[in-house]
Chains A and B, each alone.
Chain A
Amino acid sequence: MASTDFAAGDARSRRAYAEAREPAVPAEPEAKSWSNLHAPDARSASAASVPIAAGGRALKIFLRNPNAMFGVVFLSLVVLAALLAPVLYPADPLSMVARPFLWPGQNPAFPLGTDSMGRDVLSGILHGARISLFVGLVATALGLSFGILVGATAGYFSGWIDDLLVRLIEIFQTIPSFVLLVVMVAIAQPTAPVVTVAIAVITWPTVARLTRAEFRAIREKDFVMAARSLGYGHARIIFREILPNALPPLIVTSSVMVATAILMESALSFMGLGDPNVVSWGSMIGAGRELIRTAWYLTALPGLAIVFTVLALNLIGDGLNDALNPRFSQER
């Protein structure tokens, strides 16, 4: 795997060496145990930091991928919208501001029209981006952390710990996840944090399984044995030696997980199980559902927001997959 990308690596290092020609500052002559040995030019040489960005090659591939770049641009727009929503529309998006059923373009003050209660649709979509991104990112972060922890422990140690954790994962996988989500939200208060945690609870088993599989494969590699022969403890081997090698598939998965979490939050809100005090894309679609024949734009506009955000995240995931998988990037 590593031996196939010499060309890219060499080209990069050559450039990096050129950049590294910095004035040689003599390192302070420390009285170290090596000083009696032959390391004269090393001691006089500078500890010049050669700026090789880890994964620079991967970044280049990612930036050249038009689909991934579309995803990045669109997602940045969504993030921008979420950040600017309180500035552009400081009022509560749930307050009635105009006459109901204004179609998009009918009144320049409300470019995307108003809904059956006279609420501004554009304000709703911008504020909805906040909740969607919050739920998507935080739920993914939670699910990812817990899933990696469980999967890494199970995959690294094997034996009875592995058996126990795999049983735990299987319990979660046998329950229909969306039903579990609905039950959890119905039992607890339907606030955004509760929804977020509930989504994390149903997504971590996927991450755990993936991490476990990666760890089981990497655990057998020679460099792990070499690390053990250097006296490294379990935690150090798990987090500093194996995890960096297991990251690429996890990064790819996480972008899709954000998309899934956004969809789940929308589905919950659509069913009226979301937080009733905040506007979200799903709740907007839910509210417009009954009027779909007379005012279809009320479901279509927040629906398009969901479609494009999820699409953007999937495209980013694809792009990352191509960029982080060295075998694949060699073939292009």
Chain B
Amino acid sequence: MAAPLLRVDNLTVRFPTAEPVSRLSFEVGEGETLAIVGESGSGKSLTALALMQLLPRSAKIPNGRIEFAGRDLLGLDQKAMRNLRGREIAMIFQEPMTSLNPVLTIGRQITEVLTLHEGIRGKAARNRAIELLNLVRIPDPQRRIDDYPHQLSGGMRQRVMIAIAVACRPRLLIADEPTTALDVTIQAQVLDLLDTLRRELSMAVVLITHDLGVVAQWADKVVVMYAGRKVEQALPGALFRTPLHPYTRGLLAASPRLKTNLHYRDARLTEIPGSIVSAAGEKGCPFRPRCAVARDSCAHFVPALVEVSEDRLVACPYSFIPEVAHGVAVGL
């Protein structure tokens, strides 16, 4: 296989008081969709910002490597990085309501990026913006182009955000919970759109989400994060068939599934006790305080990621013991 488009190696993000991402590694191939799953506070969004080199000023990256198309992003200067952003790596944010500039028309906001990165201006830029709006399936684009963001619905705004992001045909699109702020019917449309665009523009997508349903349907590869660490990596089919890490099992047991327990009346949904905050300041496995199968030894060391099979990594040494697996599967 060719070299991956994006290779993140041992990435650590550190604030003066905390380390929200630690020793995270993953790869994204050309045209591939990688889903990063985890609950709020697991470091997903900071990972995305680290990829864009847009971390808050107090955050430092003490070690690690982000390699994009053979270039080390951490070694690039401001100017080179600015050139890359929007042109080769683009990002979509969670909140379409506030991610568009409220006082500029959407057309102006799309043409701005075209002018900056591709030097297209005037009528040509406008035509291109209309094409882009059409590409993201906004009806009646030649009129909509002069609308202000407040005249559009949430789903439409997210489509406009996507249009801006893909305007320069980036090779990598980072989507940070792109559908969290949208209602369910729109979510599927937007994700379908992203997937279609990914294929048409042959771009890779890093899809950050906490929605396992999204993962099952749209991801090629899944990384499960907990407290800044990768705890499991798998292909989505394998992940849903045989979740290994206790956290992944907990996540799956906590979401309704088709057939077996579509509704809580059919089968109880379980919860993962505690919250991610309880991992702060703990030694050993970050998931230990919430883990149903934790042993004494879990308090002493951070479990290493073990390659179970091809494309399958897990960071729990007890995940293979049958009674442990059983204990979690029944929800305890």
Contacts and interface: CB of A to CB of B under 8 A. Distances in A.
A2 B149 contact: yes
Contact of B102 (A1, A49, A233): A1
Interface stretch (A76-84, A98-106, A200-208, A218-226): A218-226
22 contacts: A2-B97, A5-B150, A20-B143, A30-B124, A34-B131, A37-B200, A39-B130, A52-B147, A54-B105, A223-B101, A226-B93, A226-B100, A229-B52, A229-B54, A230-B86, A231-B82, A231-B83, A231-B86, A232-B82, A233-B82, A240-B112, A244-B101
Contacts of A38: 134-135
A42 to B, nearest CB: 4
Of A226, A233, A236, A245, most buried by chain B (CB within 10 Å of CB) is A226
Contact of A30 (B93, B112, B127, B150): B127
A229 B133 contact: no
A222 B99 contact: yes
B210 interface: no
A282 B97 CA distance: 52
Interface in B154-183: 161, 164-165, 169
A27 B127 contact: yes
A294 interface: no
A45 B133 CA distance: 13
Nearest to A41: B134
A2 B116 contact: no
B259 interface: no
Contacts of B135: 34, 37-39
B127 to A, nearest CB: 5
Contacts of A41: 134
Nearest to B87: A231
Given A30-B127, A41-B134, A231-B84, A223 B102 contact: yes
A13 B147 contact: yes
A43 to B, nearest CB: 7
Given A231-B116, A244-B103, 16 more contacts: A2-B102, A2-B148, A9-B148, A13-B151, A16-B143, A17-B143, A20-B143, A42-B127, A45-B130, A225-B93, A226-B91, A227-B101, A228-B54, A228-B85, A231-B117, A245-B101
| Interface magnitude class on chain A | 35 or more
Contact of A236 (B99, B116, B142, B165): B116
B98 interface: yes
Contact of A241 (B101, B126, B200): B101
A34 B128 contact: yes
Nearest to B103: A244
Nearest to B96: A222
Contacts of A5: 150
A48 B54 CA distance: 37
Interface in A32-57: 32-34, 37-39, 41-43, 45-50, 52, 54
Interface in A222-281: 222-223, 225-233, 236, 240-241, 244-245
B95 interface: yes
| Interface magnitude class on chain B | 35 or more
A28 B134 CA distance: 17
Interface of A: 1-3, 5-6, 9-10, 13, 16-17, 20, 27, 30, 32-34, 37-39, 41-43, 45-50, 52, 54, 221-223, 225-233, 236, 240-241, 244-245
Nearest to B141: A42
Contact of B98 (A20, A37, A221, A230): A221
B328 interface: no
Interface in B65-119: 81-87, 90-91, 93, 95, 97-105, 112-113, 116-117
B132 interface: yes
Given A46-B142, A48-B143, A245-B103, A232 B116 contact: yes
Given A3-B150, A32-B131, A230-B164, A50 B143 contact: yes
A253 to B, nearest CB: 18
A125 to B, nearest CB: 41
Contacts of A33: 169
A241 B98 CA distance: 13
Given A34-B131, A230-B116, A47 B90 contact: no
Contacts of B133: 42
B113 to A, nearest CB: 5
A17 B113 CA distance: 26
Given A16-B146, A47-B123, A47-B142, A229 B132 contact: no
A132 B75 CA distance: 57
